[in-house]
């Protein structure tokens, strides 16, 4: 069995977890590739070349963005061929507001393609919009304990595949645990929220190019000042990383942080990492 680790990680937490899985596969001597969707432009071709149409096991990670999986991750899954006898382990990192329906969304698309889903994880992380302030939601995560939980999950998955275990989680097990809130979140799937308009303060912009080089979608062209293109999936990396604060949104960062903190109180979700698995029933309700 070949293994693929694929993730998108504008701010680095989802990558950290991807690398923890990589370490586990290395320790177990497995044949794998790792593809970072924000740094490679054709992860799908990389996966197809590596797997050559044979069954494989895909670890796939996304940050939770406004309750959902990141659009490029869903596009990657959409582009995969149907994969009977293949396995998938969706994971998300979330910033202490609500873990959302990202793993549900990924699992739905993966199950439709015939993947079996032996496990999945929601990993608590420092909130990326709060990366430059003291005491962000999810501060200090993912930490060693979170990484160990994911590594343990990866080991169990490999063991199960080796032993021919074909059990899979069903979609319901991966849904947001509160049905009312889950239904609310799912409305966004049929009526997507428009991308936040971004404007440039030309007086402040020094044309340094940080925004363009750090955009995981390659959506910013320097012409010579930054222009925002259609592939933007609204991760706000450019806004957070601009050293001059030259990228403006309709809401200030301070206001946004206040709204995020208020929203986290509404959900009141315990900020912890949860591994869901058919292999070992260690999931606890949120």
Ligand X SMILES: Cc1cc2nc3c(=O)[nH]c(=O)nc-3n(C[C@H](O)[C@H](O)[C@H](O)COP(=O)(O)O)c2cc1C
Cis link prior to 224 (omega < 30° from 0)? Answer: yes
127 binds, among ligand X, ligand SF4, none (CB under 5 to 8 A by kind): ligand X
19: left (phi over 0), alpha (psi -120 to 50) or beta: alpha
Of 177, 154, 166, the residue nearest 61 (C-alpha): 154
Among 4, 11, 156, 220, binds ligand X (CB under 6 A): 11
* 162 vs 284, beta carbon nearer ligand X: 284
- Map residue 177 onto helix, strand or coil: coil
* 55 vs 218, beta carbon nearer ligand SF4: 218
Q: How far apart are CA 262 and CA 239, in angstroms?
A: 21
Contact 239, 117 (CB under 8 A): no
210 binds, among ligand X, ligand SF4, none (CB under 5 to 8 A by kind): ligand SF4
* 120 vs 240, beta carbon nearer ligand SF4: 240
Contact 8, 37 (CB under 8 A): yes
Report in angstroms how near the CB of residue 10 gets to ligand X at its nearest.
4
| Residues from 19 through 78 that contact ligand X (CB under 6 A) | 63-67
User: Residues 213-242 vs ligand SF4: string with x where CB under 6 A?
Assistant: --x-x-xx-----x-x---xxxxxxx---x
Residue 29's Cβ-count burial label (10 Å; 0-12, 13-18, 19+) is: exposed
Among 207, 221, 251, 259, binds ligand SF4 (CB under 6 A): 207
Residue bearing tokens 């319901």 = 172
67: left (phi over 0), alpha (psi -120 to 50) or beta: left
| Residues from 240 through 269 that contact ligand SF4 (CB under 6 A) | 242, 244, 246-247
8 binds ligand SF4, rule: CB under 6 A: no
Contact 21, 151 (CB under 8 A): yes
* 95 vs 118, beta carbon nearer ligand X: 95
Q: Which stretch binds ligand X (CB under 6 A): 43-51, 88-96, 150-158, 201-209?
A: 88-96
Among 210, 256, 257, 260, binds ligand SF4 (CB under 6 A): 210
CA triple 153-25-21, angle to 5 deg: 50
Contact 61, 97 (CB under 8 A): no
Report in angstroms how near the CB of residue 167 gets to ligand X at its nearest.
29
Residues in touch with ligand X (CB under 6 A): 9-15, 63-67, 93-98, 100, 125, 127-129, 234-236
Residues in touch with ligand SF4 (CB under 6 A): 200, 205-211, 215, 217, 219-220, 226, 228, 232-238, 242, 244, 246-247
């Amino acid at each position: 069995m070949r293994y693929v680790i694929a993730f998108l990680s504008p701010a680095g937490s989802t990558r950290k977890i991807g690398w923890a899985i990589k370490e586990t596969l290395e320790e177990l001597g497995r044949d794998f590739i790792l593809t970072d969707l924000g740094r490679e432009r054709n992860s799908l071709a990389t996966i197809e070349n590596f797997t050559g149409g044979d069954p494989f096991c895909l670890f796939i990670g996304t940050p939770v963005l406004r309750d959902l999986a990141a659009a490029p991750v869903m596009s990657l899954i959409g582009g995969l061929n149907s994969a009977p006898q293949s396995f998938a382990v969706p994971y998300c990192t979330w910033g202490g507001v609500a873990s959302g329906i990202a793993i549900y969304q990924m699992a739905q698309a993966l199950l439709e393609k015939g993947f079996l889903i032996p496990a999945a994880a929601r990993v608590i992380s420092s909130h990326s919009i709060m990366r430059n302030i003291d005491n962000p939601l999810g501060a200090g995560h993912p930490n060693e304990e979170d990484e160990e939980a994911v590594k343990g999950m990866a080991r169990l998955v490999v063991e199960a595949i080796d032993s021919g275990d074909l059990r899979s989680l069903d979609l319901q097990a991966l849904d947001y645990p509160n049905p009312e809130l889950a239904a609310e979140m799912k409305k966004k799937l049929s009526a997507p929220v428009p991308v936040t308009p971004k404007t440039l303060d030309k007086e402040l912009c020094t044309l340094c190019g940080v925004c363009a080089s750090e955009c995981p979608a390659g959506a910013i062209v320097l012409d010579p000042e930054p222009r925002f293109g259609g592939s933007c999936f609204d991760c706000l990396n450019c806004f957070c990383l601009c050293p001059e604060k030259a990228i403006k949104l309709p809401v200030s960062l301070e206001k946004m942080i206040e709204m995020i903190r208020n929203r986290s109180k509404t959900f009141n979700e315990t900020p912890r990492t949860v591994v869901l698995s058919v292999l070992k029933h260690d999931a606890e309700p949120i």
